[in-house]
Amino acid sequence: MPSYAPSAATASSHTPQLDVAADLLALLNDTTTEPRPDAQLEALTLAVAADLPVLLWGEPGIGKTAAMTQLAAALDLPLTTVIASVHEPSDFAGLPVVGDDPAGQGVPMAPPDWAVRLAQTGRGLLFLDELSTAPPAVQAALLRLVLERRVGTLRLPDGVRIVAAANPRASAADGWDLSPPLANRFVHLQWTHDHDVVVRGLGGSWPRASLPRLDPRRLTEAVAFARRAVCGLLAVRPGLVHRLPTTETRRGGPWPSPRTWDMTLRLTAFATAAGTSREVLSMLVRGTVGDGPGLELLASMDRMDLPDPEDLLADPTAADLPQRGDLRQAALDGVVEAVRQRPDKARWDAAWALLVRALETGPPDLVVVPATTLAALRREDWDVPASIERLAGVVSLTRRADEAAARVAAAAGAGR
């Protein structure tokens, strides 16, 4: 009978080549990290710091799993990966264990080994991969795990953070839409690739993930700001408190509910205490309550930062107006509205002085509409202030420019 066992000479000649291959693999895996601005990575770490479940949406091969490995290493957390779609519902709800006296002692639900290891370690990053390929029964079993951190009778320690990843249904293998109850428990972040990050990463340097630096002096202020922002919006827009989308696909994404508004409040407080950029805050807010409500909240926050019209009228020549065009326009409009609500000569004159201040410190076109509206508020016995002469030329020039633009547009339309 022939033998297929390799000879000693053949084995010895192959072993060094495998060792060389291992050395080459080690060199390829020898990468470093570098501090580099990355908005989506910052949003992810902020949500992790806020102890909220995060769901990364991205096409296959985009680097979601690699990002989790790097994140766990950077935060010094052991990584536990669970592929949701290959598990049974009982793997998350717990396996029934029948004891000696089930009638008297009940039947406890035993947790799986990965949950026991996390509980024993006391900390870790639980990565639920391929969530969009999990069938509805498994998604239902995940509800308590994601929200309450419970697997059977075991509760995961507070040191465990949960991050999930999913592919859009169109690109998922046998994909399912997320159920609304499960989707409403996550902060949804769109995970995309950045060309520069990929090139530098393949060259050996990936961006470094780190927890946000919270300023201990701003904690109380951050909580007060977040509560004022969220409660202020919902007080005037009660329809946003709970709005279940009408389509199944949109129900599987972020949408507003009391639960997600509470998550939004927490993220806003963390972002404020950390001094994060508006781009990062926008990702987090829109990924929690959806694009529409999220953008309304961001606009409401902008209005909260506007100076009080009465303060501007009290000392118009020293007023500190916002630099951003839309906020400056809103501040000027607010002053004119304040004069309309309580008109008198002194306030009218102060508003004109403020418009002159705006003309001196910003784009002149922003004073046109407020100046026109303010002029219409004049009473017959109010003398025209000298400052109005400085604005008259700007308003007249802008009007002539608008009229010329309208004529050009009309001529172009007639020539077609």
pLDDT in tens, 205-229: 878 777 889 999 999 999 999 999 9
CA 95: distance to chain centroid? 36
pLDDT at position 401 over 50: no
pLDDT at position 415 over 70: no
Lowest mean pLDDT, pick from 6-20, 241-255, 264-278 = 6-20
Q: Are 261 and 289 in contact (CB under 8 A)?
A: yes
| Segment of 170-184, 214-228, 365-379 carrying the highest mean pLDDT | 214-228
**Cα–Cα distances in angstroms (integers) from residue 263 to residues 42, 269, 291, 330, in the given order:** 17, 10, 15, 29
Mean pLDDT of 257-262: 97
Looking at the DSSP bridge assignments, the partners of residue 166 are: 57
Structure confidence at residue 410 (pLDDT): 63
Mean pLDDT of 246-262: 93
Structure confidence at residue 226 (pLDDT): 95
Q: Tell me the percentage of the chain whose pLDDT exceeds 70.
A: 85
Structure confidence at residue 402 (pLDDT): 46
Task: Kindly give the residue spans of alpha helices, DSSP state H, lying in 191-343.
Answer: 195-202, 219-236, 248-251, 258-274, 278-289, 291-304, 309-314, 325-341
Mean pLDDT of 296-325: 87
Structure confidence at residue 95 (pLDDT): 72
Residue 272: Cβ within 10 Å count: 22
Q: What is the mean pLDDT of the chain?
A: 84
CA dist 15 and 7 (Å) reads: 12
Confidence of residue 102 (pLDDT cuts 50, 70, 90): low
Confidence of residue 404 (pLDDT cuts 50, 70, 90): very low
The residue written with tokens 């909580």 in the block is: 223
Higher per-residue pLDDT: 288 or 366: 288
Mean pLDDT of 296-320: 87
Mean pLDDT of 317-339: 87
For 34-55, how does the pLDDT look when each residue is reduced to its tens digit (9 = 90+)?
877 788 889 999 999 999 999 9
Tokens of 329: 């326009």
For 181-204, how does the pLDDT look when each residue is reduced to its tens digit (9 = 90+)?
999 999 999 988 778 878 888 888
CATH architecture of residue range(s) 35-95+109-207: 3-Layer(aba) Sandwich (3.40)
